[in-house]
Structure formats: structure tokens, C-alpha cells
Amino acid sequence: MSAPTDTPTTSPATAPTAAPLSARATAPLNAIVTATDVSQVYELRRGMFARPVGLKAVKDASFSVEEGETLAIVGESGCGKSTLARMLTMIETPSEGALTIDGVTITGEDARQLKKLRSTVQIVFQNPYGALNPRQKVGSIIEEPLKINTRLASAERRRKAEQALAEVGLRPEHYGRYPHMFSGGQRQRIAIARAIILEPKILVLDEPVSALDVSIQAQILNLLADLQERLGLTYIFISHDLSVVKHVADRVMVMYLGRPVEIAPVDALYAKPLHPYTRALLSATPATDPKSKGQRIRLTGELPSPISPPPGCSFNPRCPYANERCHTERPELTPHGPTRVACFAVEEGRIEGL
């Protein structure tokens, strides 16, 4: 594993150093993740002699996650939420901007510190069928992080694995079985056991329940809530399902075409969504009450191509409130009560009923 390379401007001034433990105990609300103008650019080659095009999957994302809270990241497919997850778990280094996790700036630090950080952040993926190796027994799947990151003896590893199995509601005899012998919900429990075995501080949950049925989804959501309470975990919960997000999150970040467009506490977001995209997203989510068949905000069109995003606000081709300014200037996140929102229409008070 080589040290991270080519990171353009990493100013250490923006990266707060790790708070001493005593301070953390007195002030539980402490940013454990801070992202400052983080971007991820992928190079696309289209044809042998064509110039490669830069695709900015995430653009200038700035946000922070407090210790012990659940930050939900929502948006449609292609909005960059999974790219963000890959950066937070250090699968990829951001190509621009600074990302600080647990006091360590992951761009430009030495490899040893990064390795320690990797056991601080763990991830649970969407599809539990694809995330587990069918040739490995459950025991060795769960023990693998220990093998790589610690020097524990095998008996000790086994004890820890069985403890993790118990923690997620599976039985010790499941240790020697293969993944195909389990249902989707149980497999997701195995994936969670693997994620918590290194005692991480942060769990990135990339659509952890979207592949599951409603009744199983409820079981997994309860398990995640239990673990968060017992182990004091910080969750970054990525989802497209707004009703699940409402249930689990403390704060919500709505993304559109690689940029955060609204960051708000969960109550404020659902009571009074500000950004036109958030409003459309909320009204498009079917309500489980036949009597509340309300007026839906119809969004026309689809997500524009991220290779050539529209000038100005990237939501302007689908926005009912867009005017001249939205087509030329790009709005920045500005505070609006407890919410931070990137929209000129909100800023200028052009939206009725706000």
C-alpha cells in the first residue's frame, strides 16, 4: 500500500487537530468528520484519441459530522452519494479539498496513520448478497479484518467473532456456516458484524436496507439503533428512501449532481423543506396513507449528465422557480434558520409559502 499521492492544496490550517480525550468527554458534540470543499474527479476516456473528460462526481462538498450522531445523505442515483462514501472509507482519496476524520487529515498524512484510521471507519454495503464471499465461512469473513489489522491469536479472534455474532443477533453455531445458508436480513447482520469487529467509531452505511423487505428492514434498523446506543457509533447513512431517513437520522444532507444543496436537522427538513429539489423529492415519496393523496410537485425531465452539467445552479433545468440568475450564477450554501441551503429562490424569497 503506497502513501497517498498527488493531492494539490492541502492546507493544514483547515484541519483541526484531534481534541484531547478530556475535552471530548465534556463536550460530546464534536466534529469527528470534517470535509472542506471535497471533490472527486474521474477521468473518462471516450475513444482512443479523444481528450479525456473530467467527470466531477462530487463537487466542493463541505460538511461535518458530530460524534455519535447520524448524518443521512440522500439523493437520486448519480448524485455522488456513493462516491462520498468511498472517500469517507478511504477507498479513494479526494482529488481536491481536505477531509479530516477523527483528527487526521487523510490527504497527505503518512501511511501508518491512515492504516489506523481505516479501522476507525468501516462500511456496510447495500447488497448483502454481493458483499460476502460465497467461498468463505461466516467465521473467516468476520475475522478477516482482525487478521489484517491486529496480531491476535486465532483463539482470541474466534472469541471476538462469536462476540460480534451475538452482538448482531446471530448464534455462535453460525460461525462455521457459509453465506448461502442465510437469508438477506441475516446476511446483512453478518456484514454488520464484520464492520463492528474492529471497534470502529464511524460506520458508513451505504443503502443498508434498500435490498430488504419491509419486515426485515425494520429488524435491521432496530439493530443499527441498538448498536449505536451500545457502542456509541457515529453513522453516515446513505439512502434514497426518505421515510427511512426520517426515522434514523439526526441531520440530513440532500445532494444533487455532486453538490450538497441542503443540510438541515431532520425535523426542520421534513417540516419545512427549503430547496425546490428537496420539496420535490419529499412530495414524490408516496405516503402510506390513501387519504393524503395530496398535490404532487411534478418534476419534469431527468438528472442532467454530470459530464456537462448545466451552467449556474445545476437544478435549473428542472426547477419551477429558476430565473436568469439561476442560469448564470451558482448558489452557495447559506444559513437559513437551522438549515443551510444553496438556492437563490430561497435567498430572494421567490418561493411562495416559505
Partner 1 sequence: MPLLSLRNLSVSFDTASGPFKAVDGVDITVEPGEVLGIVGESGSGKSVAMLGLMGLLPPSATVTADEIAFEGRDMRQMSGRERRKIIGSEIAMIFQEPMSSLNPCFTVGFQIKEALKAHTDLDRKGRKDRAIELMNAVGIPEPERRLSAFPHQMSGGMSQRVMIAMATACRPKLLIADEPTTALDVTIQAQILDLLLDLQKERGMAMILITHDMGVIAETAERVVVQYAGQQVERQPVSTLFDAPHHPYTSALLAAIPERATERRLPTIPGVVPGQGDRPDGCLFNPRCDKADDKCRTVVPPRQPKSLGEALCHYPLNHPANVSAA
Total residues at the site for partner 1 (CB under 8 A)? 38
What is the distance between the alpha carbons of residues 84 and 106, in angstroms, rounded to a whole number? Answer: 14
SS3 category, 93: coil
Give the residue, chosen from 2, 22, 26, 288, that forms a contact with partner 1 under the rule CB under 8 A: 288
- Binding-residue pattern over the window 136 to 165 for partner 1, x denoting contact by CB under 8 A: ------------------------------
Count CB atoms within 10 A of the CB of residue 100: 23
Name the pairing type of β-strands 339-341 and 334-336: antiparallel
CB closer to partner 1, 31 vs 218? 218
Give the residue, chosen from 24, 137, 158, 246, that forms a contact with partner 1 under the rule CB under 8 A: 246
**Least distance (Å) between residue 340 CB and partner 1:** 22
Residue from 200, 262, 191, 261 nearest 220 by CA: 191
At residue 131, what is the residue type?
A
Cell 479513494 appears where?
A: 92
CB closer to partner 1, 240 vs 325? 240
Give the residue, chosen from 219, 330, 347, 350, that forms a contact with partner 1 under the rule CB under 8 A: 219
- Binding-residue pattern over the window 293 to 322 for partner 1, x denoting contact by CB under 8 A: x--x-xx--xx-------------------
CB closer to partner 1, 11 vs 288? 288
**Binders of partner 1 among 57-76, rule CB under 8 A?**
76
CB closer to partner 1, 165 vs 224? 224
**Least distance (Å) between residue 159 CB and partner 1:** 28
**Least distance (Å) between residue 333 CB and partner 1:** 22
Long-range (24+ apart) CB contacts under 8 A made by 42-47 are 44/307
Q: CB-based burial of residue 218 (10 Å sphere; 0-12 exposed, 13-18 middle, 19+ buried)?
A: middle
Give the residue, chosen from 2, 11, 215, 295, that forms a contact with partner 1 under the rule CB under 8 A: 215
CB closer to partner 1, 199 vs 302? 302
SS3 category, 193: helix
Asked whether position 45 contacts partner 1 by CB under 8 A, the answer is no
Asked whether position 289 contacts partner 1 by CB under 8 A, the answer is yes
What is the distance between the alpha carbons of residues 185 and 221, in angstroms, rounded to a whole number? Answer: 11
What is the distance between the alpha carbons of residues 109 and 333, in angstroms, rounded to a whole number? Answer: 29
Using the contact rule CB under 8 A, the part of the chain among 102-110, 192-200, 280-288, 327-335 near partner 1 is 280-288
CB closer to partner 1, 90 vs 211? 211
- Binding-residue pattern over the window 81 to 120 for partner 1, x denoting contact by CB under 8 A: ----------------------------------------
Count CB atoms within 10 A of the CB of residue 77: 8
With a CB cutoff of 8 Å and minimum separation 6, the contacts of 239 are 72, 73, 74, 207, 209, 210, 245
Give the residue, chosen from 12, 172, 286, 311, that forms a contact with partner 1 under the rule CB under 8 A: 286
Name the pairing type of β-strands 339-341 and 202-206: unpaired
**Least distance (Å) between residue 236 CB and partner 1:** 18
Asked whether position 281 contacts partner 1 by CB under 8 A, the answer is yes
First to last CA, the chain: 52
**Least distance (Å) between residue 183 CB and partner 1:** 5
Asked whether position 244 contacts partner 1 by CB under 8 A, the answer is yes
What is the distance between the alpha carbons of residues 206 and 137, in angstroms, rounded to a whole number? Answer: 23
CB closer to partner 1, 66 vs 241? 241
What is the distance between the alpha carbons of residues 47 and 69, in angstroms, rounded to a whole number? Answer: 45
For residues 239-257, b (16+ Cβ closer than 10 Å) or e, as one string?
bbebebbbebbbbbbbbbb
Residues forming the site for partner 1 (CB under 8 A)? 76-77, 183, 185, 213-219, 221-222, 225, 240, 242-244, 246-248, 280-281, 283-291, 293, 296, 298-299, 302-303
